[in-house]
Structure 1
Amino acid sequence: MSATIDLTSGLSGWLELSAILAAGFGAGMINVVVGSGTLISFPVLLLFGYPPVVANVSNTLGLVPGSLSGTIGYRRELRANRHLARLLLPASTAGGIGGAALLFVLPSEAFELIVPALITLGIAMVLLGPLVQRSAARRAADRPASTGTPVWMNIVTFAGVFLLGVYGGYFGAAQGILIVGLLSLLTVETVQSLNGIKNLLVMAVNLIAAVTFLIIAPASVDWLVVALIAVGSALGGIVGARVGRRLSPSALRGIIASIGTVAIVYLLAT
């Protein structure tokens, strides 16, 4: 059973409600700009006494509207890269299903132990992305024009996004950082374009994981928590899209690296 909010208990109940709503807003905004909002909302739910599975399931459901509003905010970038979105969306969806199912099979420690290493890898990929892209552009300029992206590159990208979908459906912390990092190495798109694709893929994973949770473990859902995080994350997603799209590529990479580093410190300290 979840630690439901008791609004008849006076100030403490309303403070809990406000804190969860604010956590949803912060998570929604950071998810759109960077992609590690779960590290805000999930610990807040644990702090108020919600069991880990209830907190994870309810948090995932609540963050879907935030991902949706962020995706709409980046619709211009998505239209410009619809070919890449169509390639990767099925990979994220399939991975999300598998990851959500694993949540009820594997202990939570299975992913939590490697999350700091994964985030470190994601930050490194984001920062190294421009160097790899420039190197690839120089090599492409030195050889005859090709007919398109090599098949092996599409396969590697699809497989990588699928595995990140599994991770996202299971735990999801900093999934967005990992997606942007991976695509920075494997594509020639700008970081803003990749941020738009990242929002779409994260939304797909959260949505499919949420549906899977509802089918497998409907009793693990606290609907008041879901509603609070949903409202907060939707508003946060709108603000995040407005802020994120105005950032320069270097500033966006710097924010990703900074928030990712804070997330690593937090995870190692808890």
Structure 2
Amino acid sequence: MTVLDLAFLVVAGFATGVVGYVTGLASIVSYPALLAVGLSPVAANVTNTVSLVAVGVGATAKASGKLFERGRTLAIWSACAAAGGIVGAVLLLASPADAFQLVVPYLVGAASIALLAQPIVRRHIGDAQVPHIIPVSVFLVSIYGGYFGAGAGVIFISLLLVFTAETMWDTAILKSFLLGVSNLVAAVGFAVFGPVNWTAALALGAGALVGGWCGPPIVAVIPPTFLRIAVGIGGLGLALWLALT
């Protein structure tokens, strides 16, 4: 890997961190970047998961005060994310690559539609909240996050906005933290058993750490409705890309 490749990955990592925090679409930047510097699809996948841990670290470091006020609830959700990440990593290392990816475009597409329709859904739900759905949902989405992860952030945002009264800002930091937990435990497994390209992971992760740090201030000044619609449309585009690749 050349110096130019490493510089490219650092820049791509920064974009990954910002895009990942703001929209939940980190892998749409990072995964193609790893393929572009010559990694195989499997190596790019596991290297990408390792690198994306940095987005959660950067974002959490910037907005940790608000995040950790949740106490026991956050601990439960984190445990679900960790368990899901472990299952996803095992699935990736033990199952055929195409087995899970058949349903991925539909998951991302459905989440994107739910996100775009969120005001209508919440209007029908009224003031009701169904937080008991969230731990199970976090576990299931984290399985996908540990397995591949493209669009997992969109699914997290959709779930939290539809089934809880969380704001867009709070949803963004929760999504980044929970995906960071899922990616971290999966990354430990990949570090031992997977073909991680550590040079690429460090370069991409360095940029992603700074990008994740820059994410919270950006989200704070973007109108929530605009951000929700942008993420939903981006998610639909990602679902189409995943269906065609």
- With normalisation by structure 2, the TM-score equals 0.91
Q: Does 1:97 align with 2:97?
A: no
Corresponding residue of 2:21: 32
Evaluate the alpha carbon distance shift between residue 74 and residue 248 of structure 1 in structure 2; reply closer, same or farther with a 3 A threshold: farther
Q: How many percent of aligned residue pairs carry the same amino acid?
A: 33
After superposition, what is the alpha-carbon deviation per residue over 1:115-144, rounded to whole angstroms, capped at 9, x for unaligned? 221111111222233333343335x5xxxx
Corresponding residue of 2:188: 211
Corresponding residue of 1:144: none
After superposition, what is the alpha-carbon deviation per residue over 1:98-125, rounded to whole angstroms, capped at 9, x for unaligned? 0011111112212322222111111122
Partner of residue 192 from structure 1, selected from 138, 154, 169: 169
Structure 2 counterpart of 1:226, which letter? A
User: How many residues are matched?
Assistant: 245
Q: 1: distance between equivalents of 2:21 and 2:136? A: 23
Q: 1: distance between equivalents of 2:221 and 2:63? A: 11
Q: 2: distance between equivalents of 1:135 and 1:193? A: 22
Q: CA deviation at 1:187?
A: 1.0
Matches within 5 A, 1:133-148: 133-138=122-127
Q: 2: distance between equivalents of 1:248 and 1:73? A: 20
Q: 1: distance between equivalents of 2:134 and 2:200? A: 35
Q: 2: distance between equivalents of 1:29 and 1:254? A: 17
After superposition, what is the alpha-carbon deviation per residue over 1:46-87, rounded to whole angstroms, capped at 9, x for unaligned? 233212221111121112112211122233442454454233
Q: Does 1:14 align with 2:14?
A: no
Evaluate the alpha carbon distance shift between residue 133 and residue 84 of structure 1 in structure 2; reply closer, same or farther with a 3 A threshold: farther
SS in 1 for 2:221: coil
Is the Cα contact below 8 Å between 2:55 and 2:176 reproduced in 1?
no
Larger radius of gyration: 1
Partner of residue 225 from structure 1, selected from 200, 203, 206: 200
SS in 1 for 2:94: coil
Q: Does 1:252 align with 2:227?
A: yes
Is the Cα contact below 8 Å between 1:96 and 1:168 reproduced in 2?
yes
Evaluate the alpha carbon distance shift between residue 63 and residue 56 of structure 1 in structure 2; reply closer, same or farther with a 3 A threshold: same
Q: 1: distance between equivalents of 2:144 and 2:123? A: 29
Q: CA deviation at 1:191?
A: 1.9
Partner of residue 173 from structure 1, selected from 146, 150, 172: 150
Q: 2: distance between equivalents of 1:83 and 1:195? A: 19
Q: 2: distance between equivalents of 1:47 and 1:182? A: 32
Q: 2: distance between equivalents of 1:175 and 1:82? A: 24
Q: CA deviation at 1:154?
A: 4.3
Q: 2: distance between equivalents of 1:157 and 1:101? A: 23
